[in-house]
Amino acid sequence: MTDTVVRPKKPAMNKRTPAGGAPTAAHTAAEAHEARIDIPAVTDLLLGTWAATRREAREMIKDPVFWRVEGQPMAEHRERTLSQLRLLAEKGASGRAYPKEYGGQANDGANLAGFEELVLADPSMQIKGGVQWGLFGSAIHQLGTAQHHEAWLRDVMNMDLPGAFAMTEMGHGSDVAALGTTATYDAATEEFVIHTPFRAATKEYLGNAALHGRAATVFAQLITGGVNYGVHCFFVPIRDENGQNLPGITSEDDGVKGGLNGIDNGRLAFDHVRIPRFNLLNRYGDVAADGTYSSDIASPGRRFFTMLGALVQGRVSLDGASTTATALALHIAITYGNQRRQFDSGAGTEEVVLLDYGKHQRRLLPRLAQTYAQFFSHDELLRKFDGVFGGTHDTPAEREDLETLAAALKPLSTWNALDTIQEAREACGGAGFIAENRFTGLRSDLDVYVTFEGDNNVLLQLVGKRLLSDFAKQFKGADAAKLAKFALGQTAGKIFHGAGLRQFGQAVADLGSTARSVELGLRADQQHELLAGRVEQMVSDIAGAVRPASKLPAADAAALFNEHQTELIEAARAHGQLLQWEAFTDGVNAIEDDDTRQVLIWLRDLFGLHLIENHLAWYLINGRLSTQRAAAVSRYIDRLGARLRPHAQDLVDAFGFEPEHVRAPIALGGERERQDEARAYFAARAEAGDAPVSEKSLKKK
Amino acid sequence: MTDTVVRPKKPAMNKRTPAGGAPTAAHTAAEAHEARIDIPAVTDLLLGTWAATRREAREMIKDPVFWRVEGQPMAEHRERTLSQLRLLAEKGASGRAYPKEYGGQANDGANLAGFEELVLADPSMQIKGGVQWGLFGSAIHQLGTAQHHEAWLRDVMNMDLPGAFAMTEMGHGSDVAALGTTATYDAATEEFVIHTPFRAATKEYLGNAALHGRAATVFAQLITGGVNYGVHCFFVPIRDENGQNLPGITSEDDGVKGGLNGIDNGRLAFDHVRIPRFNLLNRYGDVAADGTYSSDIASPGRRFFTMLGALVQGRVSLDGASTTATALALHIAITYGNQRRQFDSGAGTEEVVLLDYGKHQRRLLPRLAQTYAQFFSHDELLRKFDGVFGGTHDTPAEREDLETLAAALKPLSTWNALDTIQEAREACGGAGFIAENRFTGLRSDLDVYVTFEGDNNVLLQLVGKRLLSDFAKQFKGADAAKLAKFALGQTAGKIFHGAGLRQFGQAVADLGSTARSVELGLRADQQHELLAGRVEQMVSDIAGAVRPASKLPAADAAALFNEHQTELIEAARAHGQLLQWEAFTDGVNAIEDDDTRQVLIWLRDLFGLHLIENHLAWYLINGRLSTQRAAAVSRYIDRLGARLRPHAQDLVDAFGFEPEHVRAPIALGGERERQDEARAYFAARAEAGDAPVSEKSLKKK
């Protein structure tokens, strides 16, 4: 740890000359005599609105007690994670979102920001904390009322009451409305009877269910007076103080998982378990003592989605945690790629630094650009979340936008985490596979992020449906001529304005930098036109294709939608990418320092062009790019890679990770030390004149 | 395990009617009244040339003693794997490739076929076996001479002499020629002095090095008489009978890895360790008692590559093992996807089977086609390997072709394993993340396959260079007019014939089935033209771009090549995919049963079209496909998916896995049982008349 390249405080510290010989390319901005980013300023930018809380969390987790122990057996890891949660509670890191009267800060944005950073220490701790305070506790907080807060929130916060969030069942994951568990009201005793009527209704994959949970927030079909009022949430005690199951409760252990083995996931089944009427979390629906059901929300469908929407924070936090974990992987791989040498170039005796290889740049730099985009879009998501949950912008429309935005961004960032962590691991070769270098543990733990808190493909379908319904709204009251024009596909682009989250063409109002990136006619506004135009046309095309469904029998209509399911998901993905691009662009435009802005514009361009390259066939088929322009995209990306290469280290240093967050030996200077030692050895042999000559050189004579 | 859908012996057993209600689509070929594959015949086809050995191996590993124990702590897993290797030796599964006089069968093809199947039991066992018998033992066998075989092979085979294969160093992985370890001959004592001159020269990532190895085959720079004759291999004892390091040997433990934790990988360093002259494995280069070096191969470069080439079997076996593991993941995910239901379609009360969703078909069926292609191309690779190493086709040209073929196929199949296992795990949702369902363990273990035994990107570069050199050969003696024509790009396609492995346009001589797949003008011969044409033109384009390099200073020439590194790797990948497509097509054409051939032609078409779709932008930019034709590709893939959907279960049943190979509870009928129970519950409630009515239905009234 002698050569910590992590987070230089001043630009001057960032000046590095590769030891020995001339480099094959400029490795730093200084060498390239180029614009340089102001690293601390970029760190501030990336840490975003709640930077102070993030710094506080990062400082706290410098303590090794919070670090993942690679290879730790499951039973020990579970106990360690439990003790870490108690420690988080002690340190006041458990409930920044909760009301001040229970020791919280009533600060939703800061709460998630702080939690997201825990992924750097151990994702098991992050997710078990999420189960306890973000799901179990949040269900009480968001779905319950003051009496429930008073009864349980203090104990939830301080870990005296560890709990499980019992929504998913063996038979139903994403389709929550179809859950099998029942909660039948018995007016005679003023109790609900919680019951698992068949094996498939067993609650499944619940953190805290196998061992540590004392209670659970159980989602069940509320039945009273012979009527099923749909899924509601109930507080159900499951274990006594000695950890023994209460009567009627059966728990099972999910055992070893692909990752997150610090969490005791398991199953819960209920055999006519009776709980007091009080235990219905009754913010959105209540049952009177006589069994009469009441709710402020008349529509069963809207009530159901309101309850689910109250739990959106899990998705929001996964978007942030994935982005932070991805940044860590890139920090490690790029730092190593900037030091590790392999093969001489044929041009001399000095071996080439990995990051000088064209392919290596192609592997890592577009993913770096993607990660930067995510930091900006996540901060936007978090601000929207804070506005809605903090009450400053809490309208039904804002809530709906928040849910759509979370559903659009969480899939992209969680998939990108797996993709980028894996590419980073491969870019480090065998060293990347050794657990101490972090990649394999991060990847295993984050694997399930793509299917929990909403399966990514299911979430993207929700976004796609929202895009379709927004599209349909454009036609409300439209006259026949307008519809006819649409049918011809001539004006679809003009009348469609997307998911209502941001008006296309307005977000990028003042770029202030158009002169710099005129190259090849792929400037910011043209990138935006291409990205936004694709979303518009895809949605318009799908809408046209499924329009006959309204006149078909249900089975045929379902089949028609099913034929376009893949395209709908793809349109939603394109929409999410557009939002990321817009957030990145807004963020870049706000930068005052010219040099920093210049470099980040190159990075934003790399992000935008990489998205366009990934869908180049679509642009060609739809006549949005000429073949000449299309062919130029890849060449431009290669040039941007070469241009950004001297800034790569600065850009990952700007993530602001310190050695206690990085921990990977390959990114803490060991590789460079070994190279220096080897070089010194050969130099000494040459000086002493006792180096063997090569057979080849003899043959030449 | 009551409803084992695995490997029905007779087609009649394969007839399934989904329990309850009409399915949303035909789930079996019988329901679709379509051609059906002859499952046992397809199993024979996939098991390939050495089917008998594969069946023998699969039978052996039905014994749970060979199975991976999920979550087993590293120390225990290592001991278990060691004991499994002793058991393999006892059962005669350790050395089918070795000479008969040492208890082997001198059967190279059967040897690898048998080893590849071990991946179904535990990849750690497969790879530790590969270290012992395929690397350590093979170095003695292939690089040593009779005296060495006599001295050590028996003990290698029966595990009395566990050993490490000490090639890679901390400072050098893929660049073996640059290794730092030295073996300096001392004529006075007739010994070699093995030495690690600096930390970066420490041998790294060696299986058996941390604990179990008693000796190592060490690659080191052979120095005698003050001349370095390049890298040679030496037999070096490292531990005594009590497991203590011998004098001068330092070993370290790599500790926990991202997978394969049954193998004790570690480091070895040598401090002037003396070994007898005898211990030089001297098949390709020898040192006389007086220190005189001699070799049958005069060129140091060719000698080096001949020695490395003798060890190609590792790459060959990874291609096969990856394919088998991928097939297992698809068997599990498709079986589950054919049973699991989620969300009703809106068309009725019955929920939809996952595999009926268009997106689910898109996720799994092209990957199924890819895996089928790999079975065929792997058998071809294995036959070529057997011909070269068995001596029936052992010429320098055949060896070179074998190495190129292995370098082209191993990257594709190992990457595909990670991609497909992950998609399969996600397609099973949370259940896919539970270790008992196999995906996460397989993925972790196979992760390192993409960077060991040759980093995939480095291997593809080798293939790319071979393609370029083959291309250049076309111009030997070409007149100026021909070169001028080439410069215009007009005849490049006609004069280039690829890597010499197969003549384009001849492999697919008699399709016998053209009438069936005329759809959209994307028949077999057109698929071939598109796939082959892409390889030809990419290589031709790169050759043209780097041609000026020969006249440039070395540094500029290196920079020019570096600019095209990504394209060269992409061309090599396209070449490997073409070879897979050709092997698939040859295999399909050899099928006599019309129905079976028809279904596999659809599957081959799906494979070909999916490759074309993945590179659609290239075909458009290069004028190989019109935009209309290009737009048709994706639609055709969707139609092929729907057409293949009723055959999906048959196609994965044809892998021939039995319950002891599958082991994943979600693929052994549990899901269907639970659904039947839930359905029976609701039916009973309905019959008894005590089911609650829904709030929605009340509101309608």
* One-letter-per-residue 3-state SS of B243-267: CCECCCEEEEECCCECCCCCCCCEE
pLDDT for the residue numbered B482: 56
What does the DSSP assignment read for B513-529? -GGGG-GGG--HHHHHH
What amino acid occupies position A400? E
- The beta-carbon neighbor of A258 closest among B168, B344, B440 is B440
Q: How far apart are CA A304 and CA A221, in angstroms?
A: 11
Mean pLDDT across B543-547: 92
Nearest residue in A to B177, CA atom? A343
A540 within 8 A of A470, measured Cβ to Cβ:
no
The Cα–Cα gap between B92 and B413 comes to 28
Residue corresponding to tokens 């568990």 = A181
Closest CA to A281 of A163, A394, A188: A163
**CB-based contact A447 B435, cutoff 8 Å:** no
d(CA B368, CA B649): 11
Contact A200 B677 (CB under 8 A): yes
Between B7 and A671, residue with greater pLDDT: A671
Task: Output the pLDDT for position A484.
Answer: 54
Using a CB-CB cut-off of 8 Å, the residues of chain A touching B456 are 426
Q: How far is CA A612 from CA A572, A609, A638, in A?
A: 15, 5, 14
Domains of chain A, CATH where assigned: 164-299 (2.40.110.10)
* Count of Cβ atoms closer than 10 Å to residue A684 Cβ: 12
Do the Cβ atoms of A401 and A309 come closer than 8 Å? no
Q: Counting every residue, how long is chain B?
A: 701
Burial class (CB in 10 A: 0-12, 13-18, 19+), B294: exposed
Token digits of residue A558: 């379902």
User: Would you call A692 and B565 a contact, using CB atoms and an 8 Å cutoff?
Assistant: no
| Mean local confidence (pLDDT), B264-268 | 98
Q: Are A468 and A440 in contact (CB under 8 A)?
A: no
Is the pLDDT score of B12 beyond 50? no
Q: Which amino acid does the sequence have at B13?
A: M
Contacts of B131 (CB under 8 A, 6+ apart): B164, B165, B206, B207, B208, B263
Strand partners, B191: B186, B276
Chain B closest CA to A638's CA: distance in Å? 8
**Which residue(s) pair with A237 in the sheet?**
A215
The answer to whether A463 and A576 are in contact (CB under 8 A) is: yes
Q: How many helices (H) and strands (E) does chain B have?
A: 28, 14
Which of B76, B426, B645 would you mutate first to test chain A, the one with the most A CBs within 10 A? B426
**Contact (CB<8Å) A674/B171:** yes
- Supply B50's token pair: 């050495």
The letter for the amino acid at A608 is G
| pLDDT for A24 | 54
Residue B65 in contact with residue B87, Cβ under 8 Å? yes
Distance from CA of A593 to the nearest CA of B (A): 32
Q: Which residue of A has its CA nearest to B294?
A: A695
Token couple for A496: 């469609």
Contacts A–B by Cβ distance under 8 A = 301
Contact between A257 and B433 (Cβ < 8 Å) = yes
Integer Rg of chain B from CA: 28
CA–CA distance, B230 with B238 (Å, rounded to integer): 23
Which one of B435, B630, B677 has the shortest CB-CB distance to A257?
B435
Angle between helices A554-563 and A524-546 in degrees, nearest 10: 150
Taking residues B40-47, report their average pLDDT: 98
Q: What is the DSSP letter of A627?
A: H
CA–chain centroid gap for A283, Å, is 29
**pLDDT number for residue B521:** 63
From the list A204, A228, A436, which residue is nearest B430 (CB)?
A: A204
- Residue B342: what pLDDT? 85
Helices A358-389 & A627-644 angle (0-180, nearest 10) = 90
CB contact under 8 A, B256 and A71: yes
Contact residues on chain A for B443, CB-CB shorter than 8 A: 258
User: Are residues A346 and B558, on separate chains, in Cβ contact within 8 Å?
Assistant: yes
- Residue B16 pLDDT: 35
Q: What would the two tokens of residue B486 be?
A: 């080439």
End-to-end C-alpha distance for chain B, whole angstroms: 46
Euclidean distance between CA atoms B71 and A256, whole angstroms:
6
CB B374 within 8 A of CB B416: yes
Eight-class DSSP state of A57: H
Closest partner CB to B359 (pick from A204, A418, A569): A569
Rg of chain A over CA atoms, in angstroms? 28
- Cβ of A528: how many Cβ atoms within 10 Å? 20
Which residues, 6 or more positions from A614, have their beta carbon under 8 angstroms from its beta carbon?
Answer: none
What values do phi and psi take at B589, rounded to 5? Answer: -65, -20
Contacts of residue B424 in chain A, CB cutoff 8 Å?
none
pLDDT in the model for residue B34: 76
What is the spatial distance between Cα B448 and Cα B455, in angstroms, rounded to a whole number?
Answer: 9
Q: What is the mean pLDDT of chain B?
A: 89
Q: How many CB atoms lie within 10 A of CB A443?
A: 26
B436 phi, psi to nearest 5 deg: -60, -20
Q: Look at residue B173 and tell me whether its pLDDT is greater than 70.
A: yes
The burial class, CB within 10 Å (0-12 / 13-18 / 19+), for B12 is exposed
Q: Compute how many other C-beta atoms are within 10 angstroms of the C-beta atom of residue B4.
A: 13
Determine the distance from the C-alpha atom of residue B339 to the mean position of all C-alpha atoms in its chain, rounded to a whole number: 29
Q: Which pLDDT score, from 0 to 100, does residue A504 have?
A: 36
> What stretches of B33-120 show up as alpha helix (H) in DSSP?
39-47, 51-60, 74-90, 108-117
Closest partner CB to A447 (pick from B175, B433, B674): B433
Question: How far is Cα B84 from Cα B688, in angstroms, rounded to an integer?
Answer: 57
User: For residues B496 and B515, what is the distance between their CA atoms, to the nearest angstrom?
Assistant: 30
Q: How far is B340 from chain A (nearest CA, A)?
A: 8
Reported for B485-489, long-range contacts at CB under 8 A and 24+ positions apart, including other chains, are: B486/B540, B486/B544, B487/B544, B489/B540, B489/B544
Please determine, for residue B94, whether its predicted confidence score (pLDDT) is greater than 90: no
Asked if A343 and B180 come within 8 Å (Cβ–Cβ), the reply is no
Average pLDDT, integer, range B4-8? 34
b/e map of B548-566 (b: 16 or more CB within 10 Å)?
A: ebeeeeeeebbbebbbbbb
* Residue B696 CA: distances (Å) to CA of A65, A230, A309, A597, A669: 52, 9, 20, 55, 65
Cα–Cα nearest to B60, from B95, B98, B87? B87
pTM of the model: 0.92
In this complex, the residue of B223, B430, B564 whose CB is nearest that of residue A692 is B223
Q: With contacts defined as CB-CB under 8 Å, which chain B residues touch A670? A: none
> How far B324 CA sits from the closest chain A CA (Å)?
20
Asked whether this complex has an ipTM greater than 0.90, the answer is yes
Strand B293-294 and strand A351-353: the pairing is unpaired
Q: How far is CA A41 from CA A58, A650, B288, in A?
A: 18, 12, 67
- How far apart (Å, rounded) are the C-alpha atoms in residues A70 and B255? 9
Contact between chains at A180 and B358 (C-beta distance less than 8 A)? no
- Average pLDDT along chain A, 701 residues, taken 10 residues at a time: 34 34 61 86 98 98 98 97 97 91 93 98 98 96 97 96 97 89 98 98 98 98 97 98 96 98 98 98 98 96 91 95 98 96 71 92 98 98 96 90 96 98 97 98 98 95 93 69 49 36 36 39 84 94 91 88 93 96 95 96 97 96 91 90 95 98 95 92 92 86 63
From A541, B436, A385, select the one nearest B428 (Cα to Cα): B436
Q: What's the gap in Å between the CA of A336 and the closest CA on chain B?
A: 13
Contact: A342, B173; criterion CB under 8 Å: yes
Q: Which of B569, B627, B681 sits opposite A197 (nearest CB)?
A: B681
d(CA B228, CA B248): 23
Q: Which residues of A touch B204 (CB under 8 A)?
A: 430
Q: B528, B480 in Cβ contact below 8 A?
A: no
Q: And the tokens for A634?
A: 């890849």
Closest residue in chain B to residue A680, using alpha carbons only: B198
Contact A638 B557 (CB under 8 A): no
E-strand spans in A225-262? 227-237, 249-253
CA distance B581 to B73: 42
